[in-house]
Amino acid sequence: MRSQLLLAILPFTQAIRIVQSNDDGWAEINIRTFFDTLSKAGHDVVLSGPAENQSGTSSSDAAPTTVDSDGCEFSSCPSGSPPTGANATNPRLNYVNSFPVTSIKTGIDTTGPKIWNGGKAELATTGPNVGSNIGIQVPFSGTVGAAVFAAHDRQIPAIAFSGKSGDPTAWDQPTPLYSKVYADLALNITSRIISSGTPYLPNDVWLNVNFPDVSSTKCSNTNQFQFILTRINTGVFSEKDTEWCGTDRLPTETSVSLKSGCYVSISVGDAADKTTVDAARQKEVLAKLQPILSCLP
C-alpha cells in the first residue's frame, strides 16, 4: 500500500505532544520544515536542537555552555548567548549549546513541560538528518543518539529520520524540494504510528527511517514512495526476524538503499544497543505499520 492512501487518514490522527531534535542543528531547514509540517497537522510540538552542527557525536552528553564567539549556526543566535535559548518570536523553537542527546534531554525534562504546563512528551522525533544513517553509520549518528536516549532513558517512543539528499541549509533559505518531501513522508510514518494507538512502540524500541535521493526528476512526489520493513545490521549470526513478505530475514537498510527506486527503509531498533530488535518486538511494530508497508519486487 502506498503512502498516498495514508494521507486520507491524517485529519483523523490524534494530536499529541511531540519533542523534536537532530544533530544538524536547531536552525537547519530539514528540522524546521518538519516542525512546520507536524504543527500544521495539529500536533503540539517543541523543538530542542543543538546550537551548532553536531553530526557524528553519537550519544555524547555534556552540560550546555555559553555560545562562543562564532554564535549559533547560520547566525541564528549571537556570540555570548546563554547555554540555552529560544527563538524570539516562537518559544517552541529552542537551541541547546551542547550535543544532540543533551538537547533532546533538555526538551524532554525542561523546555517541553514548561510549554505544556507540566505535560510530558508522548513521542520523540529526530531529523530528518542531512544524509543517511544506515548500517555501520548508525552507532555514530547524533540523530540516532538523541532518539535512542528518548526511548531508552526516558521511555518515550522515538523515530529517527534521515534523508540522503541535501547539504546543511539555513532555516531562512528557500525550502528545497527534498525537505518538503521528507517532511511529508515523515508525517505519514508518524501519523501511522500514532493512529495505531498506545503504546506507540514497544518498550525500549525506536525506528530508524531512511529516505532515498529526491530530485525534480526522481522521487519528487510522496505518491512514488514505498515503505520497506528492514533491519539495521546484517543479521548473519542473529536470530530469525519476524515473518514478512514470505521470509524470516528482513532486508538490510543498506541493501534497500542500493536499489533503484523510491524505497524508504524502516528498521525497528533496540534502544539498548542501537542494533535490530528481536522478532517479537518487530512483529508488534509490523502490526502497526503494515497498512503502509510494501514488499520489495
Instruction: Tell me whether residue 176 is in a domain.
Output: yes
Query: 206: which strand partners?
Result: 158, 269
CA distance readout (Å), 63 to 41, 106, 124: 33, 10, 21
Looking at the domain assignment, is residue 101 inside a domain? yes
Number of independent structural domains in the chain: 1
Domain assignment of residue 160, yes or no: yes
E strands, the chain, are 17-21, 44-50, 84-86, 93-96, 123-130, 158-163, 205-211, 226-230, 263-270, 275-276
Per-residue pLDDT of the chain (297 residues; tens, 9 = 90+): 333 444 434 445 689 999 999 999 999 999 999 999 999 999 999 999 999 999 999 999 999 999 999 999 999 999 999 999 999 999 999 999 999 999 999 999 999 999 999 999 999 999 999 999 999 999 999 999 999 999 999 999 999 999 999 999 999 999 999 999 999 999 999 999 999 999 999 999 999 999 999 999 999 999 999 999 999 999 888 899 999 999 999 999 999 999 999 999 999 999 999 999 999 999 999 999 999 999 999
- Cα 290 to Cα 196: distance, rounded to the nearest angstrom: 10
Whether 22 is covered by a domain: the verdict is: yes
Q: Which domain holds residue 33?
A: 3-292
The answer to whether the beta carbons of residues 71 and 77 sit under 8 Å apart is: yes
Q: Does 297 map to a domain? A: no
CB 78 within 8 A of CB 31: no
- Asked whether residue 285 is assigned to any structural domain, the reply reads yes
DSSP state of 291: G
Output the domain CATH number for residue 43: 3.40.1210.10
Output DSSP code: residue 13: S
Q: Is residue 46 a part of any domain in this protein? A: yes
